[in-house]
């Protein structure tokens, strides 16, 4: 059986993306009913994490357990890579022990090397380029609230970061319009945007980059944001804090969206910066449902790679 890795949303076809979302919905029902079975029986999943995590780590550990597998958490600071071992050497050894590697890393190339040299499936649980597993749970949440993806409009306000990159690809595959409001110099990755634009054209969606949050939010069905300063960007903190003034989801911006628009944030949230407390705690926020759904997104991705 050929192995599959999941390093990018672009690794999926339109059909695979839709099927994965539907499977996420089914697995959620099964897990909640304690009827998820032993889909990962006798499978050992290694979680190789270079970055701190609350939701991603816990969701993958619990998902592995719920599906009958065994998770092993590996903090990179405790591995031989800190003493100079090349990632390809680590990959070869881990691949001989494990059935799948879930990596939360700084450099996307680390995941590419893990997939190339380990011989087992590799899942991107966040890199500097993408966060594809986040998008699976995000889009399930939108379907639960709106009943569909195609034809909706998402407004993303803030940094064109890894989450934004994956959202663009997901929106393009799903036929969902997406407006990104970001300061100059903080646009989404150019290659990913080009790929997303091509997919959007095939699927009848429109992707727009603008400098104006109100313009992006106008008539939007979903408002989405992420932190202004991501992990590993502390040196740029002061510069980014100045650049992102005005790129905040607040009650004023929310009024520019559709009356029944929902608000999303991948968490952790810095209240008072990219989003205000009253909005994230408000009636239109689906942030906590979104966060809870990460468990089911993790489960479906593991099943997809290992089935």
What does the pLDDT average to over 241-264? Answer: 98
The fold for domain 9-130+294-306 equals Rossmann fold (3.40.50)
Q: What's the rounded Cα separation, in Å, for the pair 270 and 305?
A: 33
The pTM assigned to this predicted structure is 0.96
Fold agreement between 9-130+294-306 and 134-292? yes
Residue 171: pLDDT over 90: yes
The pair of three-digit structure tokens given for residue 241, joined into one six-digit string: 């804090």
pLDDT at residue 185 in the model = 96
How much of the chain exceeds pLDDT 90, in percent?
A: 92
Residue 1: pLDDT over 80: no
What does the pLDDT average to over 236-264? Answer: 97
Q: What's the rounded Cα separation, in Å, for the pair 216 and 156?
A: 7
pLDDT at residue 107 in the model = 97
pLDDT bin (cut points 50, 70, 90) of residue 2 is low
What does the pLDDT average to over 34-41? Answer: 92
Q: In the block, which residue shows the tokens 């190789």?
A: 48
| Beta-strand relationship, 177-181 and 153-157 | parallel
Residue 70: pLDDT over 60: yes
Helix (H) or strand (E) holding 121: strand 121-124
144 burial level (CB within 10 Å; 0-12, 13-18, 19+): middle
The pair of three-digit structure tokens given for residue 130, joined into one six-digit string: 């993408």
Where in the chain are the domains? 9-130+294-306, 134-292
pLDDT at residue 116 in the model = 97
Architecture of domain 134-292: 3-Layer(aba) Sandwich (3.40)
Q: What is the mean pLDDT of the chain?
A: 96
- pLDDT 10s digits, 277-289: 999 999 999 999 9
pLDDT at residue 270 in the model = 96
């Amino acid at each position: 059986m050929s192995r599959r890795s999941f390093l990018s949303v672009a690794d999926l076809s339109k059909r695979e993306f839709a099927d994965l979302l539907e499977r996420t919905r089914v697995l959620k029902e099964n897990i909640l009913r304690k009827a998820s079975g032993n889909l990962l029986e006798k499978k050992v999943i290694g979680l190789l994490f270079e970055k701190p995590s609350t939701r991603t780590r816990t969701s993958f550990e619990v998902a592995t357990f719920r599906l009958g597998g065994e998770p092993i958490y590996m903090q990179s600071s405790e591995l031989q890579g800190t003493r100079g071992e090349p990632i390809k050497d680590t990959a070869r050894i881990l691949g001989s022990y494990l059935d799948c590697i879930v990596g939360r890393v700084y450099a996307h190339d680390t995941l590419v090397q893990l997939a190339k040299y380990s011989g087992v499936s590799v899942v991107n649980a966040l890199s500097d380029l993408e966060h594809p597993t986040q998008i699976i749970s995000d889009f399930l949440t939108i379907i639960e609230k709106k009943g569909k993806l195609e034809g909706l409009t998402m407004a993303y306000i803030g940094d064109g970061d890894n989450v934004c990159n994956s959202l663009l690809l997901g929106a393009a595959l799903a036929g969902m319009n997406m407006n990104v409001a970001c300061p100059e110099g903080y646009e989404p990755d150019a290659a990913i945007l080009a790929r997303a634009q091509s997919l959007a054209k095939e699927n009848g969606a429109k992707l727009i980059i603008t400098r104006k949050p109100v313009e992006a939010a106008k008539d939007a069905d979903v408002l989405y944001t992420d932190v202004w300063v991501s992990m590993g960007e502390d040196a740029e903190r002061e510069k980014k804090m100045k650049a992102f003034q005005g790129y905040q989801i607040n009650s004023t911006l929310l009024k520019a969206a559709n009356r029944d628009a929902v608000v999303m944030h991948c968490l952790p949230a810095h209240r008072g910066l990219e989003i205000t407390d009253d909005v994230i705690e408000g009636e239109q926020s689906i942030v906590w449902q979104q966060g809870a759904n990460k468990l089911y997104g993790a489960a479906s991705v593991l099943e997809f790679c290992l089935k």
